[in-house]
Structure 1
Amino acid sequence: MSDDVTVVGLMADRGVPNRIAASVCERLARDLRRDVGGQWEVRRSQEVLPVDPDGEIPLAAQAPALMERNEWDVVVYLTDLTHHRGGRPIRYEVCSPDPATVVFVPALGVWRQRARTGRLLTGLVAAVSAGRQPSDDVVPKREISSLAGRLAMLAGMVHSNRPSRMLGALTGCTAVGLASGAFGIFYGSVWQIADALALARLSAISLVVVTALAAWLIVSNGLWTHSARPHPPGRAVDNASTVITVCSAVALMHVLLVAGLTALAFVVVDSAYFASQLGHDVGTWSYVRLGWFAASLGTIAGALGSNFDSEESVREATFSKRWYERRKLFDAYDR
């Protein structure tokens, strides 16, 4: 402590953890003054800690140096990784004997994530600063045992993966799909097929093409974690989060293609000529079906075989890639 002020160092990984840290920083100091008493100051720092050969984040070993170098009295690390103890995922880890703790942000879920993180941090900091273990009456249980908790963690992992960021790495793929699908707008045979497709069949076609492209991207980029290679804990949930993340990004791309090609159809296809070819009056739904079907054709015929524009975006948007990057970082980390 300095001048009777307890300084909390709030470290965070870039991305979701850093945004959460920025949002709870001031409130954390106020809550500590209210619940614990005394003067508190919270200093935020964006920093990535490595993963050691045992799969652990070495905060316990780094805490003394971090606190001395930064003049912190307590250190808390928010990470976008997950961790298991005894086969169960955990929400946090207290790193004795120093007042240090790791919070695994995805394990807190998505619903009211910032508020829940703020309450957890208040309870953890109050406990470790007093040299005691946090009580389950004050903070959520450390271990996640329920199915609902595990599903919430999976949702948190997908949120940390940021599918929208991966969508930005699919710009080239989107362009190829748009160019390929645009050819369908000019062919009467495509008009006839699109007009005959019911909503359920159009949805099924979209599901197939999105799944096919997502599978291609996962396999071609080595995003699937295999049992034969070293892997982070929770391989099944890791793969599930990767599948959901990539499928979400591809689905968003597909929606953009549908919107773009529908707009193109409205511009280039005259409604009277369109009606004469189909043999009935046309409306907005006729153009939507044409754009929808053309987008599916563009995705399967053009985008399949394409790839992400940025390897860094892939690393940032999948849990397993981030985990392996942290593992490689350990050997070069200044200890």
Structure 2
Amino acid sequence: MSSSDTPIRVMLVADPGVAARRIRKIEAAFTAEAREVLADDVTVEIETRSVRISPDGTLDIKALGELDAEHLDADAVLMLTEVPRHDEGRPLVAELFAESRTAIISYPTLGIWATKRRIQEIFMDCLLQLLPDSHGPLQQKYAQRWTQWTPTEGNGRHRLFARSGTGDLRTILGMTVANDPFRTAPKLSGALAGAAAVGAFGIFYFSIWQMADALSTARLLSIGVTAILSMVVWLILTNRLWDKPTSRDLARVVWLYNGSTVLTLLIAVSVLYATLVVTILIGALVVIDPDFLADLIGNEISFFNYLDIAWLSAAMGVVAGAVGSTFDSSMDIRRITHGQRESQRRYSEEELG
């Protein structure tokens, strides 16, 4: 631990949602580590706020300057944003602004393994570089193997780029995690209600039992996949979730937005499908008598016969659930995607003028 006569105050700022939850989870551990490395009198404070986005899809750096002005007594301001950042064709993990003692860390560029430890290490790396004293040996401790710092001549800015050639894939996965797809499924209540109502017919209709028994496993799987994809396409089209680039410069970022939207909905609809399969399976086991089912299909009955019935019924239900999704709040569904959330905090040309 280094000694210091002056207390060190660190501000942690996060976008609302996943970023804010991650910040709060690392607060205690980050504070303890900062005190161990720097001084006993390090204090850490947390603030939740969104930074506006310029028409070109980048974070408004002027707004970050205002953030620094609000915390003049802070020795460092570390912001975790859910905005995916790119520069020079590479994912930008973090960026330091020495004059304003501010660092921006992009949560999506950390990928699917954005663990509490990884976020904490990147925060410590940024903090040590923002403080006036040299902490070279300590910075090596927090360096990530898949990243590399690049200084920008003359303006006191340092950028941390992802080294890996799979940076875009890591960013899409990180954006999907930030979309919180497992919390998305409950927002599809209308779709779930419609899917459950239609899927329940599979428990009572003999023809569905016979069809499920006649279909091969491969065909049943393909039916399920087709049902999931159909609902994803329906949700994207009816809620206008597909973003279009307004300029060539934004094409790459918009591609990331659309990729994370598709992946988020695939996960959410798959969760809905799995829920239906389990629910219908339980209902079928309770309602359908094994001997009656055996007489009807002319074969011995096993657990897999019931699973086939539940799988096929759930596929029918998901297709019907696409129609039911029209009764869900369009705004709720749109908010699950990065592009739609960011459009809500985007400056218009008139506001900037």
| Shared fold (TM-score, shorter chain, > 0.5) | yes
Cα deviation per residue 1:121-175 (whole Å; 9 max; x = unaligned)? 1110111122889998453421124233332222111100111121011111011
In structure 2, the CA distance between the partners of 1:214 and 1:102, relative to structure 1 (3 Å rule), is same
Equivalents in 1 of 2:17, 2:135: separation in Å? 29
In structure 2, the CA distance between the partners of 1:162 and 1:112, relative to structure 1 (3 Å rule), is closer
Q: For structure 1, list consecutive stretches of 5 or more residues without a partner in the other structure.
A: none
After the TM superposition, which of the residue ranges 148-157 and 166-175 deviates more from structure 2? Answer: 148-157
* TM-aligned CA deviation for residue 200 of structure 1: 1.5
In structure 2, the CA distance between the partners of 1:224 and 1:148, relative to structure 1 (3 Å rule), is same
Map 1:160-179 to 2 at 5 A.
160-179=178-197
Equivalents in 2 of 1:146, 1:220: separation in Å? 36
Map 1:22-41 to 2 at 5 A.
22-37=24-39, 39-41=41-43
- What percentage of aligned pairs have identical amino acids? 27
Equivalents in 1 of 2:349, 2:180: separation in Å? 25
Aligned to 1:156: 174
Matched, 1:190 2:237: no
Matched, 1:238 2:241: no
Map 1:1-335 to 2 at 5 A.
4-37=6-39, 39-54=41-56, 55-58=58-61, 59-68=63-72, 71-111=73-113, 113-130=115-132, 137=140, 138-139=142-143, 140-141=147-148, 142-228=160-246, 234-300=253-319, 302-307=320-325, 309-328=328-347
* Residues 277 and 311, structure 2, Cα contact 8 Å, conserved in 1: yes
Alignment size in residue pairs: 329
User: TM-score, normalized by length of structure 1?
Assistant: 0.89
In structure 2, the CA distance between the partners of 1:184 and 1:229, relative to structure 1 (3 Å rule), is farther
Cα deviation per residue 1:158-206 (whole Å; 9 max; x = unaligned)? 1001111210111110110111121232221111110012221111110
In structure 2, the CA distance between the partners of 1:90 and 1:134, relative to structure 1 (3 Å rule), is farther
Query: Runs ≥4 in structure 1, deviation > 6 angstroms?
Result: 131-136, 329-333
Residue 66 of structure 1 aligns with an amino acid whose one-letter code is E
User: TM-score, normalized by length of structure 2?
Assistant: 0.85
In structure 2, the CA distance between the partners of 1:331 and 1:36, relative to structure 1 (3 Å rule), is farther
Q: For structure 2, list consecutive stretches of 5 or more residues without a partner in the other structure.
A: 149-159
Over aligned residues, Cα RMSD in angstroms? Answer: 2.7
In structure 2, the CA distance between the partners of 1:150 and 1:228, relative to structure 1 (3 Å rule), is closer
* Residues 90 and 167, structure 2, Cα contact 8 Å, conserved in 1: no
* TM-aligned CA deviation for residue 316 of structure 1: 3.5
* Residues 66 and 72, structure 1, Cα contact 8 Å, conserved in 2: no
* TM-aligned CA deviation for residue 45 of structure 1: 1.2
